[in-house]
Structure 1
């Protein structure tokens, strides 16, 4: 999840963190860490796993680490995606980050690194981090230095209800944008809501524009636009037009502009309860659909974002990201030990089996059993290009403007041209 709801998400879970009072929200990263009079080191671990099963699994892992390290205590702070991002922005500005914290990498992590707030993990994790899946490590390597360790990797794609597709006479998932729009029309003709969207949270809508930009202008266009601080290239404007074409079909569930992602009436539950045929979401989707709703079981399928006819991008270029853990500068050795524990094969197997994550430790691949997660992994392994979530790839202000502008386009208050102009304006202001 932004977005990303690593997040966003089974791990990007975007439900309200029940039971987190103002104490957790006002906690200042790093303040409670360090040694105590009895020689115990307390590590503060901030993450976004607020939905089940990840919330319980992660708490269990913390207990397991404590059992193996009697002189270490893990204090868990869990925040839903958007609350986490805003809190971390405030902590970054204050110069204090938690001992161990969730990161999606990219521009947000770079900003924290540039501020001198993040530990360089290149040397003290090398012996065991070298064996992790290379694509999973990419978002956290800046200037050839490693600043976080991945625990998940994945991509955004369409999760769909096979039974509803069958009812609408759709025999196979669409592979082109025009075919996708046709599928939306067929579903509507049968009285089926084609798509669920958490319009209130903005980042899920960004996925559509980002993928359409990749497919239309080509994957390199997004990085070029960021480097030049100019997002007004014709292909990026066309991406907004393609999205507008979809929006004009009124494909989303009733009240989508006020809908959250993982609440009982939100995007994931709408799909999980069979009330919408599709959602564009990450590999955590099945887990959150089952937690927020009933889940679709064998009726759930997955397909990659379609190609745009005449576009410069390929269907094998994927958009997504993973989750990683970074450490604040000067974090205790116990925090490094915790990262090693979290990146071990036994921990990864548990995450794969119980939370549906895609393995980053090669030895944990054998634990994959879900056919949809296997399909996602196959897409990732065959990927010819990879683009990190835009609200993480770019610096926070630009990423937020992408989310806000695309949300405005979906709501009908901004044109495709105005979206690119707004993002450009923000990018130039960040110079």
Structure 2
């Protein structure tokens, strides 16, 4: 996820029914005190995460306990929040200048804002000794102005997850490689009585993926950067992105009630896809896990293909839109916070995250643990990528990212035009 779920969005870990009142998961007991120590005299390191679904919600406490076993003078206090609730609460904490010791980050403009406010620890000296051991692309979202302010635990890309059995029923022999072919596939699915696409319209960020990918395919990653630098998205490429999305919406491809559907809740996008009630969803590498958690999962019928190319576009089929998941440390946090990140980024720990949590490896040595065919498909897409665009609601300042989500959601709902989207995003960007 969302702010959407590289979530934006985001390895959402993924969203669940939990909200701002989500239970704080603690690795062990003990009361906290204002001094940063618990009643046993241990240093308390508070870590905010978004691992709300299995297997991650079990694995994170296990890894915290493993660290504590090696560091008995430290207690890792895990606070687990649903994705959108996390973003709201972290925004409030950023405004107040009081961030937790370790906090989930997707990098980009949101992290930049926190860095500019002097709230984030510079981790460059921590990163440099381990630079050769990490997958370079995984660290990029957290590197700002030549310094490193976060460390990754996941990397991924957004693409189409599809139901092979439903494609076969609709007589679609191969996944579409062009936007025109994609629209044709949607029509074939509808003709066969199949809901083409599952979408969580209520949460907005899943819909943003369509406009963002279309804009990236049409303008190219360089064009996206130029627009961001100029704070101007009123160019033809971005209006065309909206027009192409409008063409898709006109086909009525989404499940009934999609505008009120959440992502991972019962009856939401992941459940619709996971129960075989829709043929496709545009989502990140976490999709198979959430589909199985929210629904039954479709097993061997699940496949993956890149977002199609757009005729005349400057972007290539091999340009990837996505992001990563990492952790940043608040300025002045206990040394134990950085020690925990070093532990979390060890090859042994990363293998556990790959094997048990189905994450993509960020430590090169952990690639041998990657056996899942779906995740391998995403990893192969990343390895073959020619350019990379970070989630827009993370790449840009928070207000701009939110406006992208809101405006695209309005376009999908029919209350904004492609021109309106381009103008609204530009207006907010220029005033940010």
Q: Same fold (TM over 0.5)?
A: yes
SS in 2 for 1:313: coil
In the alignment, which residue of structure 1 is the partner of 2:18? 17
In the alignment, which residue of structure 1 is the partner of 2:367? 365
CA contact (8 A) 1:13 1:288 kept: yes
Alignment of 1:297-376 (within 5 A): 297-376=299-378
In the alignment, which residue of structure 2 is the partner of 1:27? none
Aligned partners of 1:87, 1:79: CA distance in 2, in Å?
9
The structure-2 alpha-carbon separation of the partners of 1:81 and 1:352, relative to structure 1 and needing over 3 Å to count, comes to same
- Cα deviation for residue 394 of structure 1 reads 0.0
The structure-2 alpha-carbon separation of the partners of 1:295 and 1:429, relative to structure 1 and needing over 3 Å to count, comes to same
The structure-2 alpha-carbon separation of the partners of 1:170 and 1:21, relative to structure 1 and needing over 3 Å to count, comes to closer
Aligned partners of 1:3, 1:302: CA distance in 2, in Å?
23
- Cα deviation for residue 224 of structure 1 reads 1.3
- Cα deviation for residue 125 of structure 1 reads 3.6
Aligned partners of 1:266, 1:142: CA distance in 2, in Å?
36
In the alignment, which residue of structure 2 is the partner of 1:219? 221
CA contact (8 A) 1:11 1:54 kept: no
In the alignment, which residue of structure 1 is the partner of 2:266? 264
Aligned partners of 1:55, 1:129: CA distance in 2, in Å?
28
CA contact (8 A) 2:11 2:154 kept: no
Aligned partners of 1:88, 1:338: CA distance in 2, in Å?
21
Aligned partners of 2:176, 2:24: CA distance in 1, in Å?
48
Aligned partners of 2:344, 2:297: CA distance in 1, in Å?
28
Alignment of 1:352-431 (within 5 A): 352-430=354-432
Decide which of 134, 137, 141 is 2:136's aligned counterpart.
134
Residue 3 of structure 1 pairs with residue 3 of structure 2: yes
CA contact (8 A) 1:10 1:51 kept: no
In the alignment, which residue of structure 2 is the partner of 1:172? 174
Please list the CA deviations of residues 1-29 of structure 1 after superposition, one character each: whole Å capped at 9, or x if unmatched: 243326456644111227945889xxxxx
In the alignment, which residue of structure 2 is the partner of 1:73? 75
- Cα deviation for residue 355 of structure 1 reads 1.6
In the alignment, which residue of structure 2 is the partner of 1:246? 248
CA contact (8 A) 1:112 1:118 kept: yes
- Cα deviation for residue 221 of structure 1 reads 1.8
CA contact (8 A) 2:141 2:390 kept: yes
Gaps of 5+ in 2: 26-31
Gaps of 5+ in 1: 25-29
Aligned partners of 2:328, 2:115: CA distance in 1, in Å?
10
RMSD: 1.7
